[in-house]
Structure 1
Amino acid sequence: MGQFRKKLIIMAAAGALAVSSLAGCSRSMDNDAVVAEVGKDKITLGVANFYARMQQAQYETYYAGMMGMTGEDMWKQEVEDGKTYEDGMKESLLEALENMYLLNQHAADYDIELTDDDKKAIDKAANLFVEDNTLEDKEAVSGYEKNVKKYLELATIQSRMDQPMKEGVDEEVSDEEAAQKSMQYVLFSYNKTDADGNSEAMTDDEKAAQKQKAQEFADSLKAGDNPDIGALAQEAGQEVKTATFDADSTSPNADLVKAADALENEGDVTDIVDTDSGVYVAKVTSFLDREATDAKKESIVEERKQEQYDSLLKKWREDTEITEHKNVWKKVNFEKQGVTVKQSEDDYSDNE
């Protein structure tokens, strides 16, 4: 029950909602209308609306503020020609919900089913959600007990299917495939700090001077007059940083990585790398950073597992007739009806 208990505690974060609507926006909808058909299963508007509103609540509560805008402004911003952020989000949410139904349909293939304890926990979570919210707010998000329970059932099956669907991939990864190099580097920045402590761009003359300092630093490092890059950087008033990388890395700077990756020997130093932000100089310290390489191996295995999971879902989608009813789905409108999370003291778990 541990994994599912975490699911319910996450759900508790959205237990109490604050719903707002623009003037003239009707909250009434036919919750039994069908948004999509996945094989023989029908996704009702009630379940789809509840699922979508829970996601909307998380975004409006935690992301809109970080982006410095209201939820309404966030949803209506255009992300590509003729497509708003809301349009893109609703497309991905409907596909995600369809996938949850597909996972439920294939659960028996992996001997996955809801236990009696699961059902009791779901009942408790659904009841608490219903008690936490006003009738008006429940109507706005289709937060009726049957919709909440259906969503939690789907979410539980989804969480249980993750591991078995990823089993059986090749977990052997060679050092060659995962190899990560390491470097020490210095950035001679093209920004400076003014008298008030604010950052500002250097003048062209100041940039030229920085570039000259970087060249002198690189020349000294290559000549071996002071092989300790830290001491040499300190003399130049700069800070040494470290990074691990491979040929596909783009951090801390793609051009710097390309220059460092082209070096033939450990201890070699790059030429200066002039960028918009400043001038880099790097020294390769290892062609096989053990810790970073082992971490990359784990990452590659996880990528393989995710690819297998995604390919299974893709195949199931291809093998299943899926029909979407856009005229029904368009009744869910994020811009005209905001939803945010109120903090809740309740624990939506099966613990008494």
Structure 2
Amino acid sequence: MRRKIIALLMAALFLTGCGAGREQETDADQIAFTVNGEDISLREWNFYVRMNQMQWEREDLDTYGDDMWSMEVDDDGTTLADSLKEEVMNLICRTHLSAQKAEEYGVSLSGEQLEEVRQRAEDFMGAYNEALLEYAGADEEFVYDQLALTELSIQAEEAAVADYEPELSEEDYHREGICYVLVSTTGLRDAEGNLTPFTEEEVQERTELAFEICETAREIGDLKSAAEEKGMTPVVSSMGMTNENDGQEPLMLDAARMLGVGEISDPIETEEGWFVVQHTNDFDEDASDYWKDYLTDLGRQERLSQILDEWMEQAEITVDQDVMDQVNVKIVLKELL
């Protein structure tokens, strides 16, 4: 029965997705658009649309239902299908534009790297439903070509910003040592992530626990040991001069910066529960080195984004809308997932 359903769906998808009245044998060779004179075939366009369509449906189908692709996402009438196609076209353009710069930056793929790509292509073909791969126009050689192009584009992008050094002051990456413990008052999560809230009595008990840990830590001068004595797991971490780009609890960090080295905060109430923090040292060399590297990488990502925008602005992109419209996103692919 499942085979019959898939067969019927494939027929419907072909009729609505690739258009009637075209010669089937030439569909894949039609040019959907060009990027600086480089042809992007209907086959490549269809492949990326379908594989991304599949991913979006895996994430959102349960939420939005079978009509998700006709759902309007803004006041201009743009549908989710329109958004998907726009994102995919930008992805394809970025990949080709970056790969076109490979020679300029002296980048090429070695034999070993191509062997790794070959293995990834084989793994890719084994990871998806055969019917989905067929509908996406994917065979191993085609997937290999796409993965090799993507790998080349990634290396070209890395080369484009390899020598870029963002302007950083020591204050930007200076880190000081902290140790903190969180006594949660929200509840416990099971293996599936479902939360069982604490009762009022349990919340009160855990509040008292936070204050007990604080008191003991101040008596012995060591929050880490005090927390471990109570069966809690302390976190040895670091803080910067500000909370910018720092994913830790802001209220906890603000309190830590008010402490002298060795001092321990009062319990800090947050939405998650009670934090207690100790300022352990005024310079954490390892954390400062890590943070400098992190901010450098972040700066290079921002610079790369600017470069990619410039390449897009300078690119000559021509579109055959009739060909592109043959890839029609209307029917969900749930039988092929």
TM-score normalised according to structure 1 size: 0.66
Partner in structure 2 of residue 287 of structure 1: 282
| Deviation for aligned residue 1:312 | 1.9
Three-state SS of the structure 2 residue aligned to 1:24 is: helix
The unaligned stretches of length 5 or more in structure 2 are 1-5, 20-26
- Distance (Å, rounded) in 2 between the aligned partners of 1:203 and 1:174: 48
| Structure with bigger RCO (C-alpha 8 Å, 6+ apart) | 1
How big is the alpha-carbon RMSD for the aligned residues of Structure 1 and Structure 2?
4.9
- Distance (Å, rounded) in 1 between the aligned partners of 2:250 and 2:210: 18
Q: Does 1:162 align with 2:157?
A: yes
| Deviation for aligned residue 1:127 | 12
Partner in structure 1 of residue 299 of structure 2: 304
- Distance (Å, rounded) in 2 between the aligned partners of 1:118 and 1:190: 50
- Distance (Å, rounded) in 1 between the aligned partners of 2:124 and 2:219: 70
Q: Does 1:200 align with 2:196?
A: yes
Q: How high is the sequence identity, in percent, across the aligned residues?
A: 23
- The residue type paired with residue 244 of structure 1 is S
Contact 2:181 2:227 in 1 (8 A): yes
Q: Does 1:43 align with 2:61?
A: no
Q: Which of 224, 228, 232 is residue 222 of structure 2 equivalent to?
A: 228
- Distance (Å, rounded) in 2 between the aligned partners of 1:185 and 1:203: 25
- Check 1:267–1:127 CA distance in 2 against 1; reply closer, same or farther (3 A cut): closer
Partner in structure 2 of residue 332 of structure 1: 327
Partner in structure 2 of residue 313 of structure 1: 308
The unaligned stretches of length 5 or more in structure 1 are 1-17, 343-352
Q: Which of 234, 238, 245 is residue 239 of structure 2 equivalent to?
A: 245
- The residue type paired with residue 300 of structure 1 is L
| Deviation for aligned residue 1:32 | 4.3
Contact 1:250 1:257 in 2 (8 A): no
- Check 1:226–1:303 CA distance in 2 against 1; reply closer, same or farther (3 A cut): same
- The residue type paired with residue 290 of structure 2 is A
| Deviation for aligned residue 1:287 | 3.0
Three-state SS of the structure 2 residue aligned to 1:282 is: strand
- Check 1:156–1:253 CA distance in 2 against 1; reply closer, same or farther (3 A cut): closer
- Distance (Å, rounded) in 1 between the aligned partners of 2:283 and 2:311: 41
- Distance (Å, rounded) in 2 between the aligned partners of 1:291 and 1:209: 37
Partner in structure 1 of residue 207 of structure 2: 211
Contact 1:45 1:329 in 2 (8 A): yes
Q: Does 1:141 align with 2:129?
A: no
The 5-angstrom pairing of residues 67-86 of structure 1 reads 69=62, 76=69, 81=74
Q: Does 1:185 align with 2:173?
A: no
- Distance (Å, rounded) in 1 between the aligned partners of 2:248 and 2:119: 49
TM-score normalised according to structure 2 size: 0.69
Higher mean C-alpha deviation, range 290-299 or range 153-162: 153-162
- Distance (Å, rounded) in 1 between the aligned partners of 2:277 and 2:219: 16
Partner in structure 2 of residue 350 of structure 1: none
Partner in structure 2 of residue 263 of structure 1: 258
**Count of residues in correspondence between the two structures:** 313
Three-state SS of the structure 2 residue aligned to 1:288 is: coil
- Check 1:87–1:229 CA distance in 2 against 1; reply closer, same or farther (3 A cut): same
- Check 1:149–1:229 CA distance in 2 against 1; reply closer, same or farther (3 A cut): closer
